[in-house]
Amino acid sequence: MFTTTPGQPPLVGHDELIADPYPAYARLREAGPVHRITGTDGLPAWLVTRYDDVRRALADPRLSLDKRNARPGGYRGLALPPALDANLLNMDPPDHTRIRRLVSQAFTPRRVAALRTPIRETADALLDAIEPLGRADLIASYAAPLPIAVICDLLGVPPHDRRDFRSWTDALVAPDPAEPSRTKQAVGSMLAFFTRLIADKRSNPADDLLSALIAVRDEENGEADGEADGKADSKVGGKAGGEDRLSEDELMSLAFLILFAGYENTVHLIGNATVALLAHPDQLAALRADPGRLGSAVEELARYDGPAPLAIRRFPTEDLTIGGVTVPAGDTVLLGLAAAHRDPARFTDPDRLDLGRDATGHLALGHGIHYCLGAPLARLETEIALAALLDRFPRLSLAVPAGELRRRPAMRARGLLALPVTY
């Protein structure tokens, strides 16, 4: 719940933020650009609601992702062991710059474009499996397995070792207070999985991103020998000097982040986009009539109902002013992406899905130095997933009323638990 006055009824309820957050965020945006709130964890934070302020804040180096800059006792985030926590979502420069540089070459538009054919082949194979059924849960059978397969191939997770990653992610993103042990078990399972996977890759390096990162981790003085070094060059853009080496915790944390961030948001984007199109038959018909618009349509779909209503929390390293409000150093700041995307000061008639709109400047994939490293891949996967789905099933429709669709009980991740359809 969000409340702006202690002891008063919540300004915005939790259930409202899960089912349809946009009217709630509109009320907050209209009431003011920045709100002092009490979040779901019972701790105070600042919520930024308007597009210009959110965009500026995303790129402001004074807003740190490093939890060590949080005010003592003022932040209660998910407790992960160092082996999973030393990742880009908790780092500022120079560590952020160093690690991002190591993997950025694996996600360039040119490299991602080379994945178009394999992604389409995977999408077609998944649709082949469900086509005879006439109905399916598109999350479980399509929107989730597609990006999981793609990121596992890129990272080098062998097919026989691909687990139910979504159950682990659910335990982290939307923990059940009634089952606190579930999150602990998920963390333990992830640690065991990545420990074994990295050990296997050390013994048997291959032409994949994880093998390349291990080579960077293990080489000395920027020198590596044999085949592993060549693979590192091909995946992460060349040899790394000593200053570019990874610690063991950074290596495991990076593998964890690439795997989960590499599919989680894409699952939600594909699912949300499919629902949005089915709810707007005029827009769907226009897209079917002109499939060449699909690339730009993905941008509008990401703006209209993106996978992350809130950006990852930030902590000011000094007192700073946002939207005319002074925010003290160390306080928790939440940047409202969902609120910004429906800001009429930036997007005309923002509550309307318009696939002809120029949605350039949406913030669904971030902005500034923390812009999503896998953005080109997420865009391509979503475009191909929708193209294959619409090609295959011209009579696609929801199998239940839209109001009965169940969403994940998490304010920071807007995604469907299931998407039952007929075709």
What's the distance, CA 144 to chain centroid? Answer: 13
Phi–psi pair at 352, nearest 5 degrees: -100, 130
Q: What is the pLDDT of residues 368-380, one digit of tens each?
A: 999 999 999 999 9
CB 237 within 8 A of CB 348: no
Cα–Cα dist 154/138, whole Å: 23
Reduced to 3 states (helix: H, G, I; strand: E, B; else coil), residue 250 is: helix
Indicate if the pLDDT at residue 410 is higher than 60.
yes
* pLDDT mean over 244-254: 87
What pLDDT is attached to residue 76? 82
* pLDDT mean over 75-94: 88
What pLDDT is attached to residue 246? 85
* pLDDT mean over 5-28: 73
Cα–Cα dist 274/217, whole Å: 40
* pLDDT mean over 56-78: 93
| Average confidence score pLDDT of the chain | 88
**Of 241, 306, 218, 236, the residue nearest 268 (C-alpha):** 306
- 156 versus 14: which is more confidently predicted? 156
Domain ranges of the chain: 14-422
Phi–psi pair at 218, nearest 5 degrees: -90, -20
Percent of the chain predicted with pLDDT > 70? 89
418 by Cβ neighbours in 10 Å (0-12 / 13-18 / 19+) ranks as middle
* pLDDT mean over 7-24: 71
Reduced to 3 states (helix: H, G, I; strand: E, B; else coil), residue 251 is: helix
Give 184-247 as a DSSP string: HHHHHHHHHHHHHHHHHHHHS--SSHHHHHHHHHH-BTTB--HHHHHHHHHHHSS---GGGPPP
- Specify the pTM: 0.89
What pLDDT is attached to residue 26? 95
Q: What is the pLDDT of residues 186-232, one digit of tens each?
A: 889 889 999 999 999 999 999 999 999 998 887 743 443 444 344 43
Cα–Cα dist 163/171, whole Å: 14
What's the distance, CA 75 to chain centroid? Answer: 21
The CATH number, out of the four listed (2.40.30.20, 1.20.1250.20, 3.40.630.10, 1.10.630.10), of the domain defined by the range 14-422: 1.10.630.10
Nearby residues of 221 by Cβ (< 8 Å), 6 or more positions away: 241, 242
Both tokens assigned to 110? 């040119």
What pLDDT is attached to residue 10? 55
What pLDDT is attached to residue 49? 96
Instruction: Read off the pLDDT band of 103 (50, 70, 90).
Output: confident
Both tokens assigned to 36? 């002092």
Cα–Cα dist 62/368, whole Å: 12
- 53 versus 243: which is more confidently predicted? 53
* pLDDT mean over 338-346: 98
Give 287-310 as a DSSP string: HHH-GGGHHHHHHHHHHHS-S-SB
Percent of the chain predicted with pLDDT > 90? 67
What pLDDT is attached to residue 7? 52
Token pair 């590499």 is found at 262
* pLDDT mean over 120-132: 98
